[in-house]
Amino acid sequence: MSQGYQSRAASEDDLPALCELEAVIFGRDAWSQQSLMSELAPGEGDGDYARYSVVSCSAGHVVGYAFARTGGEDAEILRVVVAPAHRRKGLATALLTAALAAARRQRCVRALLEVDADDAAAVGCYSALGFTPLHRRVGYYASGGDALVMALVLTPPVHVGGGEAR
């Protein structure tokens, strides 16, 4: 994590801060409190997927978070959010890297995400980490904006002898 920031698993206690960040960042496209709450359940998810959630804190306050789901060969990066005052400090990269590490632990071979096609900073961040565009979802967001679907092939586990290296 970037200097001066701490990361930890997200919890129900973080819900008010998550709701506030959602409203600031996403406006009409913000997730509801109930939707955020459903992503805070650690470990096993419903059915065939597992959930992963992490927050980044500064001076005891949540300033960023990431949510991911893993299932089968795919991981879906649901949210990577950083408060405007804390951007350009490597937090989004650190949060996304943590989510991708969780996906690799679950033996996923591909990570997928959707990003506002007009959000050049986010698209640039994801591209720098190796994500490539798959397609555009026109008018996807409530605001009318397009979503760009991006994918990253995760490095497969290396097989050494009869075992598997991690």
Tell me how far apart the alpha carbons of residues 86 and 41 are, in angstroms, rounded to a whole number: 26
Q: Are 17 and 25 in contact (CB under 8 A)?
A: no
Tell me how far apart the alpha carbons of residues 68 and 49 are, in angstroms, rounded to a whole number: 10
Per-residue pLDDT for the chain (166 aa), expressed as one digit of tens each? 567 889 998 999 999 999 999 999 988 888 999 999 988 865 544 556 788 999 999 998 999 999 999 888 999 999 999 999 999 998 999 999 999 998 998 889 999 999 999 999 899 999 999 999 999 999 998 888 899 999 999 976 555 555 444 4
Q: Please report, for residues 109, 110, 154, the alpha-carbon distance to residue 130 in angstroms, rounded to integers and kept in the order given.
A: 14, 11, 10
Tell me how far apart the alpha carbons of residues 142 and 65 are, in angstroms, rounded to a whole number: 22
